[in-house]
Amino acid sequence: MKKVLFIAVFCSVLSLACAANQGSANPANANPASAEISFTFNRQSGSSSNQYAVWIEDSSGNFVKTLYATRYTANGGWERRPQSIPLWVSKSGLSALPKKDIDAFSGATPRTGTQSYRWDGTDKNGNPLPSGEYQLFLEATLRGDNRVLYSASITLGNSQGIPTETFVAARYFGSSTSEWGMIEDVRVAYRQ
């Protein structure tokens, strides 16, 4: 009986010690910077639609990291349909990326509903980036040659430490307006 009680007490103490150790993150190594984009996605019927990508660039327009891209385009659909999110395809260097890198950021085209993607302030290799201005982009192929590009400026290193919502600009390409509702209510917030 004493042996069982000792083992139970020892396991409890060990469990508490592990939990305390996990809770004490090293603030010097923590990277609290983050940005989040959220929007309503209304899936369209038919082909040549529903493709989008979300990515980050630095203030000089250099590509930093893809947060998400629809799997069809990322896995070669851009070759069969060159009009599918062409700016992201060009900026990301997609044609030279290994499959494992593409698999890390791509996913199935989502169902209708709210979508949200978070950036943790790191580059494509997971390295923390310096404070400064960055651009967050969302490009979507609405149908055929009709697409939209949303962009927002974010600042890593604002000293307030509270979420800051920023203005999101939209630029439409093509002649049709009937698919503009595919992406709605785009919001971008960031903090550090």
Q: Is residue 14 part of a domain?
A: no
Dist CA 179 CA 165 (whole Å): 26
The CA distance from 70 to 115, in Å, is: 12
**Is the residue at 74 inside a domain?**
yes
55-59, Cβ contacts within 8 angstroms, sequence gap of 24 or more: 55/88, 55/91, 55/92, 55/136, 55/137, 56/119, 56/134, 56/135, 56/136, 56/137, 57/91, 57/134, 57/135, 57/137, 58/129, 58/132, 58/133, 58/134, 58/135, 59/132, 59/133, 59/134, 59/135
Residue 182 three-state SS: helix
Structure tokens at 145: 């040659």
What is the distance between the alpha carbons of residues 116 and 40, in angstroms, rounded to a whole number?
Answer: 9
- Summarize pLDDT for 127-156 with one digit per residue, the tens: 999 989 999 999 999 998 999 999 999 988
What domain count does the chain have?
A: 1
117 inside domain:
yes
Taking 80 as the threshold, does the pLDDT of residue 2 lie above it?
Answer: no
Q: Is residue 88 part of a domain?
A: yes
CATH number of the domain that 148 lies in?
2.60.40.4070
pLDDT at 4 over 80: no
Condensed to tens digits (0 to 9), the pLDDT of residues 56-74 reads 999 999 999 999 999 999 9
Is residue 37 a contact partner of residue 138, using CB atoms and an 8 Å limit? yes
Q: Phi and psi dihedrals of 32, rounded to 5?
A: -80, -5
* More confident: 98 or 160: 98
Look at residue 34 in the predicted model and tell me its pLDDT: 86
How much is the pLDDT for 54? 98
User: Would you give the DSSP letter of residue 76?
Assistant: I
Burial 47-60 (b: 16+ CB within 10 A, else e): eebbbbbbbbbeee
Q: Which domain holds residue 121?
A: 33-191
Residue 84 has pLDDT above 50, yes or no: yes
Q: What pLDDT was estimated at residue 15?
A: 36
> Do the domain assignments include residue 15?
no
pLDDT digits (tens, 9 = 90+) for 19-57: 333 333 333 334 457 899 999 999 998 778 999 999 999
At residue 71, φ and ψ (nearest 5 deg) are: -60, -40
Is 24 within a domain? no
Cβ–Cβ < 8 Å for 102, 75:
yes
**Residue 177: is it exposed, middle or buried by C-beta count within 10 angstroms (0-12/13-18/19+)?**
exposed
pLDDT tens string 179-189: 899 999 999 99
- Most trustworthy range by pLDDT among 2-11, 21-30, 98-107, 176-185: 98-107
Residue 6 has pLDDT above 60, yes or no: no
pLDDT in tens, 116-130: 999 999 999 999 999
> Does 1 map to a domain?
no
